[in-house]
Structure 1
Amino acid sequence: MSVTHQVDVQQLIDSGRFSRYQFLIAFLCFVIIAIDGFDTAIIGFIAPSLRTEWHLLPQQLAPLLSAGLVGLAFGSFLAGPLGDRIGRKTILVLSVLFFGIWSLASAYTDSLFTLTLFRFLTGLGLGGAMPNAITLTSEYSPQRSKSTVVTIMFCGFTLGSGLGGALAAHMIPAYGWRSMLLLGGYVPVACAVLFYFLLPESVRFLVLRRPGSRQIEATLRHIAPQAKLAGAGFFIPEPPAAVRRSPVAQLFATPLAFGTLALWAAFFMSLLIVYLLTNWLPTLFKEAGFPIAKAALVSAMYQVGGTVGAIVLGRLMDRFNPYRVLAVAYLSAIAFIAIISFNYTDLVILNLAVAGVGFCVSGSQIGANALAAAFYPTSNRVTGVSWALGVGRCGAILGSMMGGALLGAGLGFSTIILLLAIPALLASIAIFAMFKRYPRPATDAASATGGGAASMPVSH
């Protein structure tokens, strides 16, 4: 059938209401991120029981605890180019299946070296799932609510981590630490099959890479059943020449290169703070003289603040310039950091300040995921998101190690907390620099790449 008219796929998604089908896609990605969060956090929950059963010293646990983070970083770097070449759905499903299989394998090992290796391999899958889930959600969300949908979807990570803690409290005493790894293996393996049948491939990806695919019209009919799609050709407002270039090379091409480096700086600094506080906040409060129960309660406020911050900042990013929103949020974190450092004896103020740091830093990091997904064009969107996350994971590894190093150096609670103002300031500067370089809000980076609408007809 000959092409009778052209349909802009992104305009079609933007102009309609958020359909049940789009909600299903976002929900399935939410579930994937929740499973990702559960499997990422497992090792921390089983570590005390593992140490007791295998008679391990604390320093012997360190490689095991960091192996997953290293795997996450490598997985992010590998998954991006694959997602942009092969497809978001394909790599997403394979990543979930991959980390589920290695979690199952971890449950049956009796060797610390083998368990460490398997945690690294699990991390590879975890690192591959996250950026593809972010990208798929972003590409099916209307521009007017893109940041909100992506940030709410990513809150699944916190839910999965928290659920892991609740289940660990009941399962480990009753069934042993291996039961957590088994649960973290069987659930993703089973869900990978479900995701294969329920998740669609990104229509933007299909238009760019497989313009003759019948899936394009079939998927768009689920989103906009009233649209006139019969005999249509489909296009996205991006230059098709980008398909012939390496997704990695595009990261450093003009004018994306500046934004790439700025995003990397923000992700690195942000995740350094997030993981230092997540891993060391209870210990820091205990060193400052707080009872363990109160230290744990205050630390939980950080996660609460991060979840609320993600939702609020996501909404603000959709209403105002997203660069300004994130730059101000990171800058505001400095005030809360100072309050914690200088006034940590007042429990009420401390709880509010810790929640404020979570709101501004952890919430901004989730918002930065949405910003990265909007900044890069379809041809290298997964690569852009995943490589930013990969660089961020390097910051996470450094943050995890810094807590112990700073405590070992004899620095006090106030000094260690106050030092976090430096990476928060640098993250704010990086995002503000993007605002100065790209004054227009990130809108799928069609403007960032300098390309106009490219007609990519589909024959019927």
Structure 2
Amino acid sequence: MTTPALAGTTRKSASPWTVRTLLVLLVLDLTYLVNAMDRQVFAILLPDIKQTYLLTGNQAGTLSTIFTLGMGLAGIPAGYLADRIGRKRVIVASLLLFSITCALQATAHGLVDLTAWRILSGVGEGAQNAALYAAVGAYFQRNRAVAIGSINAAFGLGAFAGPLWGGALLSSTGDWRVPLLVFGGLGLVILVVMLFTVPRSVTETGRQEAPRATPAASGEIRFFNRRVVCCAIATAAAGFAIYGYLGLYPTYLREAHGYSGGQLSVAAGMFGLGALTSVFCGMFADRLDQRLVNVAGFAAIAACGAGIFAFADAYPAQLVLSLVLGIAFTGIVYTNTNALMQRSVPAAKAGRASGLFVAAMYLPASVSGYFFAAVKSGLGWHAAGVIQLCAIPVAGLVAMAAMGKPRD
């Protein structure tokens, strides 16, 4: 069975790389950097939050990933709105929402309202994700994976800096609420910068474009073609595996290895540092068979999972494996699958493709923390970790095998 040709592979980029376009991309990257800082710092704060509210292990595990429920639910509606009313409007509204709700988490009186703020923060982050990736992917069409990789690199920098800065604020103040208030305020500052520096001519590229025909007898490229479906399956497998792990990795290091708070921050931050390779991984993804690139990424995730939970007891080994896992997930699988899904649909539907990617990534992830915690309760950290990071990624490998080659 053949599949439609990849959308956008023969068109020129909407703009060459210039100082102006690079500066605009930098500002858009900064909006995602603060998103990552907010998202990743919570795992560092979770042990203190658990003590404050006397949470059980399953409650803490659910709270660690419940924000992904909001992200997943927001993905498809936000992608549709980005195509209909404008990507910049959605980015602005979502950045405002997750900045405010990040700060409001510090005001929570108990598990119920903290959970509500976490979910609403996820709605803002998911909506921003869908609109931001669509805007960048449409504007930098020829170098789509590189441009998307730059966003993921910004995420990596934020995921590295967030736990370190948040951990430092926690250590200096003794209050887990302070990092949430600081990061929420930072998001509002970045919002103002974006409003005045990013023009709509960048964010709205291709939004009104008519669908393009293909050599296939059916003419127009179908949105839900086989490549899109396989990408969604691979995305769901990656999101479920990684976000369950990320939410509880610091807790695992503290309970299983007795690491200090500072060591937890560095180890968790190394995952984000690995994402800084996303631009370089995107360069390869733009030139190679993206299915094979994903195969390498999923295999690396499984290998790192075995190392982290079955073999590596030494702290330096945990740092290296956390770094490589960040490269495998954010640098390879996240960057590559996002670009591949956008390439599989017409440019005018890039927002919907990005929204589907967000939904597929984060809806399964919303229950992954509970799943990981429940398996850990029954089987222990080591077996649960191997299941989480070694068994589940197999679904991604199967999806890439089923995708098939594009028609020339």
Instruction: State the distance in 1 between where 2:265 and 2:105 align.
Output: 28
Question: Within 5 Å, which residues of 2 pair with 1:394-405?
Answer: 394-405=363-374
Q: TM-score, normalised to structure 1's length?
A: 0.73
Higher relative contact order (CA 8 A, sep 6+): 2
Distance verdict in 2 for CA 1:185–1:51, change over 3 Å = same
* 1:366 partnered with 2:330: no
Does the 8 Å contact 1:22/1:140 carry over to 2? no
Cα pair 1:328 1:428 within 8 Å, conserved: no
Identical-residue share of aligned pairs (%): 18
**1:425 aligned partner:** 394
Query: Which residue of 198, 203, 222 maps to 1:254?
Result: 222
Secondary structure of 1:155's partner?
helix
CA contact (8 A) 1:361 1:424 kept: no
Query: How many Å apart are 1:38 and its aligned residue?
Result: 1.7
**SS at the partner of 1:13?**
coil
Counterpart secondary structure, 2:246: helix
Once the two structures are superposed, the pairs formed by residues 237-248 of structure 1 within 5 Å of their partners are 238-239=211-212
Aligned match of 1:382:
351
Alignment deviations for residues 328-370 of structure 1 (CA, whole Å, 9 cap, x no partner):
3323544555555664467777665554444333432232222
Q: Please tell me the residue identity of whatever aligns with 2:360.
A: V
1:439–1:274 CA distance, 2 compared to 1 (3 A): farther
Deviation at 1:88, TM superposition (A): 0.8
Instruction: Please show how residues 52-131 of structure 1 align to structure 2 within 5 Å.
Output: 52-58=51-57, 60-62=59-61, 64-131=63-130
1:316 to 284, 297, 302: 284
The CA deviation at 1:316 is 0.9
Task: Report the aligned-residue RMSD.
Answer: 3.3
Q: Distance in 1 between matches of 2:239 and 2:19?
A: 33
Please state whether the residue corresponding to 1:24 is helix, strand or coil: helix
1:137 shift after superposition = 1.6
Tell me if the contact between 1:344 and 1:350 (Cα under 8 Å) persists in the aligned partners.
Answer: yes
Gaps of 5+ in 1: 1-7, 210-235, 241-249, 441-460
Structure 1 position 156, deviation (Å): 1.5
The whole-number CA distance in structure 2 between the counterparts of 1:135 and 1:29 is 12
> For the residues of structure 2 that align with 1:147 and 1:135, how far apart are their CA atoms?
12
Paired position in structure 2 for 1:413: 382
* Residue matched to 1:156: 154
CA 1:50 to 1:365, structure 2 compared with 1: closer, same or farther past 3 Å?
same
For normalisation by structure 2, the TM-score amounts to 0.82
Structure 1 residue 136, shift from structure 2 partner? 1.4
Query: How many Å apart are 1:159 and its aligned residue?
Result: 1.9
Say if 1:134 and 1:150, in contact at 8 Å, map to a contact too.
yes
Report the Cα offset of residue 83 of structure 1: 0.5
Q: Contact 1:89–1:202 at 8 Å: present in 2 too?
A: no
How far the C-alpha of 1:373 sits from its partner, in A, is: 2.9
2:198 corresponding residue in structure 1: 199
Q: Which runs of 5+ in 2 are unaligned?
A: 1-7, 214-219
1:199-225 CA distances to partner (integer Å, 9 max, x unpaired)? Answer: 12255846653xxxxxxxxxxxxxxxx
- Higher alpha-carbon Rg: 1
Please tell me whether the aligned partners of residues 38 and 161 of structure 1 are also in contact (alpha carbons under 8 angstroms).
yes
Distance 1:352 1:195, change over 3 A: closer
How far 1:322 moved relative to its partner? 2.1
Which residue number in structure 2 is paired with residue 268 of structure 1?
Answer: 236
